[in-house]
């Protein structure tokens, strides 16, 4: 086993192929047609928004609302995808002169989706049209109430479809069975962007429309990457151009956030969003008010310090709660097929992070819950091919007061009196769905790389596979039988390791982030296999190839 206790799986061991050929083959990019589609950078080839069911209907209704000065309410969600989706639609409607307001629910106070008290307040305020973004598909009773009150609803969403859809004026969700839109994995921000793409030509001339939409694509990619949508097909095209849009962004708020995160003047990648920008935006909705992030994305640079403080607070709180959860697991005689843990003091904004950490550590789908006075609020995370949202919908949907999600992530509210029934049902049937042997800590390695292939040209060719993320992971390579000498702890507390790697007449620098605790295991007399990502390190104007170590193990 490796230093991280993982089983290494090397996918392509064909000696006759070069490293780039192996990487392409691993991604099923074998035919010229597939390669052309994958590497095509023409943003003009993104899918037509009018392929989405009800798009034309929604566009005409919104145009009418703008022309007649009807009060429009954009209702979103408190995570990055929901906030960016709200910003995209709200900003456009404001720019074209609509009478528009927005509402972002509080994670702790309101929970996910429309609520009857929101609807009654909207009616009282004279709202005539509600447009949901990144939510609404599961709000059957709430939309029925809007109809009773004479308020129309347009739903834009990307979450899974329930058995019965709400009776909205229009529902734009590619996951509807009768929706012909090919990209079923677009984000909520992506759907919002598509709606604006359909509307923009009616209000801007060609160049103005293209320029505006390109800027807003940078906002959309924040949600697309943060919501872990697969970066394949149209999502890959949108992400590739969205990341470039962020690099040249005229958004004052986003630029200020990039600066504060220490990523200014660097190439913006999915990692930049996933590790630096997304968590800061998410921190607003997790621990405080999502409107902090909303206002930042609309240009209020003063909100940067607020988001940074909240993100630091979030990191400390999550570490504490995850350690509590692991302690609870240690008391169990064995790891259950599906982990369910609950604490009354776990902040609802941290539940998804706790479930995710448990999922990664114990290699089991996990549910983290906050116990409240009358109910449990939960976040779920899964792995592999286990669709936790479909499973819970099939086995326990009648027990939830609210419920929704994707294949690998979801959430629900559960009345307290239903807890016993819920756990009994889950424990009774879960073994039919899950074989624990299917979940093991594996490190997926693309291939072994020969020393002569460690070149700037190979690194450049690998970068053509970007953007990396869900569905298109960054290539992980391997070299064997390496002597590790001259170890140098780096970081404030020596949490990282830096060392040179000599391969024939070549010498490379290697960096192993968060491997400081393993430094005592490394014996300079032994040989090691190293799994790594190949990257270019820039420092003081110089560029060098660097091995970003993913894992070590002793050579056979």
Residue 516 lies in a domain: yes
| Tokens found for residue 344 | 């009354």
Rounded to 10 degrees, the C-alpha dihedral 173/176/178/183 comes to 60
Indicate which CATH number applies to the domain containing 454: 2.40.50.460
Asked which of 110-124, 126-140, 236-250, 435-449 is least confident by mean pLDDT, the reply is: 435-449
Residue 341 lies in a domain: yes
Which residues lie closer than 8 Å to 189 by C-beta, 6 or more apart? 81, 84, 85, 88, 133, 134, 219, 220, 221, 222, 223, 224, 227
- Which of the listed residues 164, 188, 205 is the one where a domain comes to its end? 205
Query: pLDDT over 90 for what percent of the chain?
Result: 78
Asked which of 196-210, 227-241, 251-265, 450-464 is least confident by mean pLDDT, the reply is: 251-265
Residue 146 lies in a domain: yes
Tell me what pLDDT residue 406 has: 82
* pLDDT of 119 above 80: yes
Give the residues across from 409 on adjacent strands.
381
Residue 277 lies in a domain: no
Indicate which CATH number applies to the domain containing 421: 3.10.310.30
Convert 167-178 to b/e letters by CB count within 10 Å (16 or more is b): ebbbbbbbbbee
Residues 469 and 550 grouped into a single domain: yes
Which DSSP string do the residues of 419-468 spell out, in sequence order? Answer: HHHHHHHHHHHHHHH--GGG---EEEEEEE--GGG-SHHHHHHHHTTPSP
Which DSSP string do the residues of 270-326 spell out, in sequence order? Answer: HHHIIIIIHHHHHHHHHHS-THHHHHHHTT-TTHHHHHHHHHHHHHHHHHHHHHHHH
Query: What's the mean pLDDT when you consider all of the chain?
Result: 93
| Residues comprising the chain, all counted | 556
Question: At 185, is the pLDDT very low, low, confident or very high (cuts 50, 70, 90)?
Answer: very high
Give the residues across from 493 on adjacent strands.
none
Residue 1 · residue 553 · CB < 8 Å: yes
Residues 59 and 199 grouped into a single domain: yes
Cα distance between residue 266 and residue 94, in whole Å: 32
Tell me what pLDDT residue 264 has: 75
Tell me what pLDDT residue 291 has: 97
* pLDDT of 521 above 90: no
Tell me what pLDDT residue 19 has: 95
Residues 454 and 420 grouped into a single domain: no
Residue 161 · residue 132 · CB < 8 Å: no
Question: At 302, is the pLDDT very low, low, confident or very high (cuts 50, 70, 90)?
Answer: very high
Cα distance between residue 353 and residue 349, in whole Å: 8
What value does the mean pLDDT take over residues 534-551?
A: 87
Residues 145 and 182 grouped into a single domain: yes
Tell me what pLDDT residue 533 has: 96
Q: Tell me how many domains the chain contains.
A: 3
Residue 403 lies in a domain: yes
For the segment 373-425, what is each residue's pLDDT rounded down to a tens digit? 899 999 999 988 899 999 999 999 999 998 888 888 999 999 999 999 999 99
Tell me what pLDDT residue 245 has: 94
For the segment 328-383, what is each residue's pLDDT rounded down to a tens digit? 999 999 999 999 999 999 999 899 999 999 998 899 999 999 999 899 999 999 98
Residues 511 and 372 grouped into a single domain: no
Residue 293 lies in a domain: no
> Among 317, 384, 327, which Cα is nearest to 358's?
327
- Which of the listed residues 205, 235, 255 is the one where a domain comes to its end? 205
Asked which of 55-59, 146-150, 542-546 is least confident by mean pLDDT, the reply is: 542-546
Predicted TM-score (pTM) of this structure: 0.88
Tell me what pLDDT residue 471 has: 87
Tell me what pLDDT residue 224 has: 97
Tell me phi and psi for residue 445, to 5 degrees. Answer: -110, 130
Place of tokens 């909205």: 168
* pLDDT of 233 above 80: yes
Asked which of 58-67, 167-176, 264-273, 284-293 is least confident by mean pLDDT, the reply is: 264-273
Residue 349's domain comprises 332-438
Question: At 310, is the pLDDT very low, low, confident or very high (cuts 50, 70, 90)?
Answer: very high
> Among 409, 324, 332, 321, which Cα is nearest to 365's?
409
| Tokens found for residue 95 | 């720019």
Cα distance between residue 535 and residue 174, in whole Å: 36
Residues 94 and 154 grouped into a single domain: yes
* pLDDT of 16 above 80: yes
- Which of the listed residues 420, 438, 456 is the one where a domain comes to its end? 438
Residue 327 lies in a domain: no
Question: At 455, is the pLDDT very low, low, confident or very high (cuts 50, 70, 90)?
Answer: very high
């Amino acid at each position: 086993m490796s230093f991280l206790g993982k089983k290494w799986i090397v996918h392509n061991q064909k000696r006759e192929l070069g490293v780039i050929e192996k990487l392409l083959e691993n991604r099923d990019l074998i035919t010229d047609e597939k390669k052309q589609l994958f590497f095509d950078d023409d943003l003009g080839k993104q899918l037509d928004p009018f392929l989405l069911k009800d798009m034309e209907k929604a566009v005409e209704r919104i145009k009418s609302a703008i022309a007649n000065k009807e009060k429009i309410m954009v209702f979103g969600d408190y995570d990055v995808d929901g906030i960016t989706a709200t910003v995209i639609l709200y900003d456009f409607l404001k720019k074209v002169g609509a009478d528009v307001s927005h509402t972002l629910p509080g994670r702790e106070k309101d929970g996910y989706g429309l609520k009857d008290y929101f609807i009654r307040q909207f009616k009282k305020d004279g709202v005539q049209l509600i447009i949901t973004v990144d939510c609404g598909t599961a709000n059957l009773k709430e939309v029925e109430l809007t109809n009773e009150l004479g308020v129309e609803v347009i739903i834009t969403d990307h979450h899974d479809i329930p058995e019965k859809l709400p009776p909205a004026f229009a529902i734009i969700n590619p996951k509807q069975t009768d929706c012909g839109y090919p990209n079923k994995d677009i984000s909520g921000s992506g759907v919002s962007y598509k709606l604006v793409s359909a509307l923009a030509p009616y209000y801007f001339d060609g160049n103005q429309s293209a320029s505006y939409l390109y800027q807003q694509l940078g906002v959309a990619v924040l949600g697309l990457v943060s919501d872990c949508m697969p970066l394949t097909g149209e999502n890959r095209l949108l992400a590739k151009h969205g990341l470039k849009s962020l690099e040249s962004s005229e958004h004052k708020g986003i630029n200020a956030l990039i600066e504060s995160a220490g990523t200014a003047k660097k190439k913006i990648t999915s990692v930049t969003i996933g590790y630096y920008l997304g968590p800061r935006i998410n921190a607003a909705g997790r621990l405080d008010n999502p409107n902090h992030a909303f206002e930042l994305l609309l240009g209020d640079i003063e909100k940067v310090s607020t988001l940074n403080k909240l993100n630091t607070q979030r990191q400390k709180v999550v570490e504490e709660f995850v350690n509590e959860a692991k302690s609870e697991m240690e008391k169990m005689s064995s790891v259950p097929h599906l982990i369910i843990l609950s604490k009354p003091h776990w902040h609802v904004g941290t539940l998804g992070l706790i479930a995710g950490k448990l999922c990664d550590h114990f290699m089991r789908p996990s549910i983290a819950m906050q116990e409240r006075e009358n109910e449990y609020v939960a976040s779920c995370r899964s792995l592999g091919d286990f669709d936790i949202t479909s499973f819970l919908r099939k086995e326990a949907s009648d027990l939830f007061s609210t419920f929704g999600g994707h294949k690998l992530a979801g959430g629900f509210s559960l009345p307290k009196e239903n807890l016993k029934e819920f756990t009994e049902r889950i424990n009774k049937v879960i073994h039919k769905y899950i074989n624990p042997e299917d979940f093991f800590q594996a490190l997926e390695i693309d291939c072994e790389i020969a020393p002569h292939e460690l070149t700037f040209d190979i690194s450049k060719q690998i970068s053509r596979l970007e953007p990396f993320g869900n569905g298109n992971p960054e290539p992980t390579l391997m070299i064997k039988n390496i002597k590790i000498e001259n170890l140098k702890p780096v970081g404030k507390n020596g949490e990282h390791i830096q060392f040179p790697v000599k391969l024939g007449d070549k010498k490379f620098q290697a960096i192993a982030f968060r491997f400081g605790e393993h430094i005592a295991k490394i014996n300079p007399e032994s040989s090691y296999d190293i799994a790594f990502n190949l990257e270019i390190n820039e420092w003081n104007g110089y560029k060098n190839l660097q091995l970003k170590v993913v894992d070590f193990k002793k050579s056979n």
